[in-house]
Every structure is written in C-alpha cells, then in structure tokens.
Amino acid sequence: MTPGRWLWQVYLVVGVSLVVLYYLAPVDARGFPLRVVLYCLISVSAAVAVWFGLIRHRPKPVLPWLLIGACQLVYALADTIFYFSHYVLLNTDYPSLADLFYLAHYPLAVAGIVLLLRNRTPGRGVAGLLDAGTLAVVAAMLSWLYVIGPQTRLGAPFMVEAVSVGYPVMDLALLTVALGLVLGPGSRPPAFFLFIGWTAAIMTADTIYVVQQLNGTFQTGNFLDAIWLAGNLALGASALHPTMRGLAEPAPVPDAPLSPLRIAGLSASALIAPAVLFAQWAQDAIRDVPVVAGTCALLFALTIARLAALVSDQRRLAITDALTGLHTRRFFEAQLPLEIARARRSGGSVAVLIADVDHFKMINDRYGHPAGDQVLIEIATRLRRTVRAGEVLARYGGEEFAIILPSATTETLPTIAERLRQTVSGQQIRLPGECWTEVTVSVGTAVYPTHGGDPDNLVSVADRALYAAKAAGRDRVVIGDERSPVRTEKTLEGLDYLHLVADEVDARLSDHEHSRAIARWVQVLAVESGMDEDTARGAALAGRLHDIGKIVLPRSVLTKPGPLTAAEWELVRGHPDHGYRMASVVPGQAAVAVIIRQHHERWDGTGYPDGLRGAEIRPEARLLAICDAWAAMLANRPYQRALSEEQARDRVRADRGSHFEPEIADLFLDLHAAGRIDPLGLLAPRSRVRSL
C-alpha cells in the first residue's frame, strides 16, 4: 500500500490522540499554555492537510479547495485568538475579536462548497437544490423560533445581538449548500462523507455555542471543543484522502432519484411548520405567526417547483441516455426528419455522422464493463466539446454515437468529421484502477440531399460508410457514396443472400414455414389497411427478412427448450438490431431495415429494442408484429407447443391494445375469419447454407 493510501488514516489517529491529550493535559505546564498549543495545532493541521492534499492529489478544478483551505486558515487564526484570550489572558468577553474571524470563515466555506456543487452538477441538479431549499427553510424557521428570535428579544447590546444572530444565519447558509451536496447527484467516495462530517460538526457546535454564551453556561474545554476538533480532523482527512480529487467531478446522471426515504423526509419536513403552530396553540403561546405562515408559503412554493422539476426530469430522461447524458437514439430519429424538412424548405443541407468505438469489446473483456462505461462517458464528454449550438449529439447504440449537423455540406463534412475523430483519439483515457487505454473511432457520414432524400436512406448511407471505415482498417473517416436507392445488381445480390439467411433461421426453429407466410399475411394486411402498393411490397419484404438477425445467436440459445437466463434473453432481444444492420447495408433498403428493427415493439411501449409506443412505431412494423406472433403461436417451437387457431385468436383478443394496435388486431381477425390468412405450411426439404 502506498503512503498516500493510509496517510489520511494516520492523520486521524494522531489527531484523535491529540484531542484526548487536550482533555487530559493541564491548562499550562510550568507556565507553558499547553492546551492552547494542542488545540491550535489540531486546527492549523486541518489547513495544512488541505494544502497538502491540493499539492498531492491535484483536484480539478482547484478553486473550491483553495477557498476551503483559506477558510480553514481563517478559522485556525480565530481559534488561536479565542483560546489564547481564554486560557492565557483570561478574557471571556463575548463577542470578541475571535468571533469576527469565526464569522469571516463562513463565506469562504460557502463559496467553496457552491463551486463544488456547480462542478458536480453543471447546469443540473435542480431537484437536489429544491430539496435542500425545503430542508433549509424548515431549519431557518426553527432557528428563528428557538435561537435567533429569542436573542433579538433579550435587549442585549448591539454587538452581542449581531454576533449571536450572525452565527445561526451563517450556519443556515452553510447548511443550505451542504444539503445541496448531500441531496444532489454525484459520487460519494470516503472523502465526501468526511467533508460532510466537517460541515455537520461546525454547524452543530456553533449553534450550541451561541445558546451557551447567551445562557452564561459556556466554558472553554467543555464537550463543544471535541465537536469542533472532530470537524477539523474530518476536513483534514477528507483533503488527504485519495478520493478528494473526485468530489468535483460531474455527476454521470442529472439528479439523484426521488427515493421513498427522500419522499418521507421531505414530507416530514413540510409538516414541521404546521406542527409547530399547533403545538404553540395547544400551549396557548402562539408567537411569530408571520414567520410560520411565511415558512408554509415557501414550502408550498418549493413543493410546486419540485413537482414541476420532476415532470421536466421525466421528459428529459425520456430523451437522455442514462450513462452518457447524451440524447437517445429515439430523440435522434425524431429530430432528423425535422432537420431534413427544414433543409428542404430552405434549399440547404444537413449531414449525419455516425461514430463507432474501435475494438470496444476488447476493452470490456480486458478491463471489465465498468471500464467500458468509463470509456463511453469520456468519449461522450469529448464529443460534446465539439458540438455547436443547433447540432444534435446522441448515443446511437451500445458504442455508437451519432450527430446531426445542420448546414454541413460534402465540402465541409470531411473536415468536421476528421476533427471529431482526432478529438476522441487525441489522448488516452484513464480507467478505474489507474489504468490508461488508447481509444479510436471509425466514422461514417452522409449528407442530404447528396446521399439521400429521407432519414432512413441518409442513415443507411452513413451506416454503410461506417462499415467501410471498419473494413479499411478502422480509425478513419469515410464519406458516404452517392449510390441511387434503386435496385441495382448489388441490391438484388444482397437481398438474395438475406432470403437464404431467413430460410436458415426458419429451419433452425421449426418444421413449419415462418417468414414466407408472414410476408404473405403482411402484404394482405397492408393492402386492406389502405397502404399503397409500394409500401405493401416493402412491408412484405420486411416480413420475409424480419428474423435474419437471429442468425448471429448461438444455436444453443435459439433452440433452448427451457426458460432463458437473463444473459440469454439479452442476446435474443438484440436480434432486431442485428437484422436492421444486416438489411441496412443493402442499398435502398433503409425503410425495410427500420421495420425489421421495430417488429418486436409493442403498442403499449413494453416491447424492444427501443420501447416505442403507439404511433411511434412504423405502421408496417405494427402489421408485422401481429403476423409474427400469429405464426409463432401456430408452430411447434423448441420452447413451446403449437396452439390451435381458436386459442391463437383468443390470445390476439387478449393482447389487443397491449401488444397489438387494436384496429390492426380487429382487421387481422376479420381477415382470418374470411379465409384471407392462409394456414402455415410445412418447410420444403432443402440444402442448408453451409457458410451460415
């Protein structure tokens, strides 16, 4: 273990020993002010520890810790003045010069903590601040009722009253920002809890100190000294702990969740004001009604603001990736058509850029999934620095990122994409355990209107360019080609191959046909639901190819007779995306690829892979969903026996409005009753595709 790992522990052990010695030692030893020296030594040591931690651990940013270090120096100076006056000069006047320095250290502490908060939650953390505000308002009311208010009614001299009010006011300011740390998002390493311990000790001891001074019961060397000294030691240990450099790191998620414990705590706090008023009424001693009423009004306003923030958070979370904080694929796919429509109206252009992390699986296998997550977070941070106002940056897939670049052209796009690639690969990424790794990305791009006239085609061209960058050796940028979406010879070759893949998958699952029957049924449904001939043909092709992504699944998973494990189920849930990728590399089949990706989405939003709901799902995919389910129910599978047609009809009725769009379910059942949905046939004997 390196010295830095245990230095904070040594500091605490030595510090606690000095505290014990402080209480055991006489006030002076042969004229030497021993207690003063011991107390001030501990107080000064905390300031020294902060500065030493700054030099050793080099936290970023450094300003919060500089302010906290300066705060502790002022506090140590106040301790020196106070205890020298009490123990050596026997001057117990209140207030004294020491009190001015004690009060002066608070603004430095509050400023330092505010900067920590801003860095931990840049532009976010509103919910945590509102929760902190709720608790702080309640604390302010209690402080006024039982500490500040009584002091203002004592008729004490102005300086006594000012200082006596100053301590609780400053403590309230410190309490507010400290609660912001506790209730806000961000990491909570050991240094965090030591730091919070420092603020708690200072506020607790100061409040009791003011009460004892006013009651005339304060004596130097009582139990309050132990609380103050413990707070100093907690601050010093926090600064010496290796995790102190992480206190200001941005939170990976915008806000801490509204847990049942937090709800209970906030609810109890909101009830304190009316409870105090009721207790005063019961004792026939109602006072400070304006303060209590004002508190209730503030709590009501904070509650409304918290509800508004919660609604805003839910909206934001729906379009925000939880790990990286970027937009989601769903937001990207919703925004791209809008940007293309805007470019079409103005005669301008818009570009799509897709970046994929090279050899990401190797990082996960070598360093573990937490390291992989750290890589994605860091790449997202670097990409965010390159994105300008009006551009959309999203996490497109597991290790894929996508950007919408309005006004980018075929001339400017190569420069933009290359700058982005260099931003990611410019420096190593630090992983947990003090490991470092180099990371590169492959980039594929496409521009409207050069490479496509609709979102699906544009993304398909960018995706093919990305695959070309991978095939060319990775860590490079490839601009999409200008191939027409018409069916070229290469398109037909690609579709022929995918038909073979579909047949291979069907043969692995059952002795009944599957994709061929679904293609027939989907086309019938499409025509009967009012779709044009071209759309119906596209839907039928998607039905024919919808399961091609299962070719990548291990046969042991695909044909497993019993329940799947969580890991196996995760593999199965990925097959729509695999099918989407396989179809999207065939020129002109971007729309078919999207239908394949969405065929396991459900009308109520509980499907996969994207959890789309209702009209968010393409109409063709809604048709495909019911045809796929019907075929699966009527065929023997390794994991289930075939149902009768009447049982299958009952299942469709039961899932109407949840799995299936109600109108489509009704139309399908009507067509089946009319004999328009033909029965499943047996697969014809054929030779297997060896290369698959």
For residue range 509-535, what is the model confidence (pLDDT) as tens digits?
A: 887 789 999 999 999 999 999 888 878
Instruction: Answer yes or no: are the C-beta atoms of 148 and 200 closer than 8 Å.
Output: no
| Continuous segment of H or E residues that includes residue 30 | none
Q: How far apart are alpha carbons 73 and 66 in whole angstroms?
A: 11
| Continuous segment of H or E residues that includes residue 691 | none
Q: Mind listing the pLDDT tens digit for each residue in 225-282?
A: 999 999 999 999 999 999 998 888 776 555 555 667 777 877 887 788 888 878 888 8
CA-nearest of 298, 280, 254, 1 to 128 is 254
Give me the DSSP letters along 144-187: IIIIIHHHHTTT--HHHHHHHHHHHHHHHHHHHHHHHHHHS-S-
**Lowest pLDDT segment from 137-151, 336-350, 365-379, 551-565:** 137-151
Q: How far apart are alpha carbons 197 and 461 in whole angstroms?
A: 56
CA-nearest of 624, 400, 362, 381 to 515 is 624
**Lowest pLDDT segment from 151-155, 282-286, 582-586:** 151-155
Burial state string for 632-642 with b = 16 or more CB within 10 A and e = fewer than 16: bbbbeeeeeeb
Task: With cut-offs at 50, 70 and 90, classify the pLDDT of residue 691.
Answer: very low
Query: What's 474's DSSP letter?
Result: S
**Lowest pLDDT segment from 335-344, 399-408, 530-539, 651-660:** 530-539
Instruction: Answer yes or no: are the C-beta atoms of 447 and 349 closer than 8 Å.
Output: yes
- Tell me the mean pLDDT in the region 583-608: 89
Helices (H) and strands (E) in the chain, counts: 27, 7
Total Cβ atoms within 10 A of residue 311: 10
Measured in residues, the chain has a length of 692
Structure tokens at 570: 């995760």
**Lowest pLDDT segment from 414-423, 480-489, 501-510, 531-540:** 480-489
3-state secondary structure of 95: coil
Q: How far apart are alpha carbons 287 and 169 in whole angstroms?
A: 20
| Continuous segment of H or E residues that includes residue 24 | helix 3-24
Give me the DSSP letters along 537-557: HHHHHHHHHTTGGGGGS-HHH
3-state secondary structure of 464: helix
Q: Could you write out the three-class secondary structure of 216-261?
A: CCCCCCCHHHHHHHHHHHHHHHHHHCHHHHHCCCCCCCCCCCCCHH
Q: How far apart are alpha carbons 590 and 352 in whole angstroms?
A: 14
Report yes or no on whether pTM surpasses 0.75.
no
pLDDT at 483: 45
Q: How far apart are alpha carbons 53 and 241 in whole angstroms?
A: 8
Give me the DSSP letters along 638-668: TTBPPPPHHHHHHHHHHTBTTTB-HHHHHHH
Distances (CA, A) of 120 to 117, 234, 248, 333: 5, 21, 5, 30
Q: Which residue has the higher pLDDT, 253 or 550?
A: 550
DSSP alpha helix (H) spans, 355-485: 360-367, 369-386, 413-425, 455-471
Helix, strand, coil percentages (3-state) for the chain, rounded to 5, are: 65, 5, 30
- Tell me the mean pLDDT in the region 544-569: 88
Instruction: Answer yes or no: are the C-beta atoms of 33 and 84 closer than 8 Å.
Output: yes
Task: With cut-offs at 50, 70 and 90, classify the pLDDT of residue 484.
Answer: very low
Going along the chain from its start, the domains and CATH numbers come out as 3-122+185-253 (no CATH), 329-479 (3.30.70.270), 489-673 (1.10.3210.10)
Query: What's 444's DSSP letter?
Result: E
pLDDT at residue 196 tops 60: yes
Q: Which residue has the higher pLDDT, 452 or 546?
A: 546
β-bridge mates for residue 322, sequence order: none
- Listed in sequence order, the residues at least 6 apart from 13 whose beta carbon sits closer than 8 Å to its beta carbon are none
pLDDT at 442: 92
- Phi/psi zone of residue 511: left (φ > 0), alpha (ψ -120 to 50 degrees), beta? alpha
- Listed in sequence order, the residues at least 6 apart from 446 whose beta carbon sits closer than 8 Å to its beta carbon are 351, 352, 452, 458, 459, 461, 462, 465, 479, 480
Q: Which residue has the higher pLDDT, 443 or 486?
A: 443
Place of tokens 């700054």: 54
Q: Mind listing the pLDDT tens digit for each residue in 352-377?
A: 999 999 988 888 888 888 888 889 99
Place of tokens 């117990």: 92
* pLDDT, averaged across the chain: 84
Structure tokens at 62: 């450094």
pLDDT at residue 55 tops 80: yes
β-bridge mates for residue 357, sequence order: 441
Q: Per the omega criterion (within 30 degrees of 0), is the bond before 95 cis?
A: yes
pLDDT at 258: 64
Q: Mind listing the pLDDT tens digit for each residue in 141-190?
A: 777 777 666 766 666 677 777 777 777 778 778 888 888 788 777 778 89
| Percent of the chain residues past pLDDT 90, beyond the cut | 36
Q: Mind listing the pLDDT tens digit for each residue in 493-506?
A: 778 889 889 988 98
Task: With cut-offs at 50, 70 and 90, classify the pLDDT of residue 628.
Answer: very high
CA-nearest of 514, 533, 513, 515 to 524 is 533
Task: With cut-offs at 50, 70 and 90, classify the pLDDT of residue 128.
Answer: low
3-state secondary structure of 501: helix
- Tell me the mean pLDDT in the region 289-315: 76
Structure tokens at 674: 């009319």
Q: How far apart are alpha carbons 151 and 162 in whole angstroms?
A: 9
**Single-letter code of the amino acid located at 338:** L
pLDDT at 147: 66
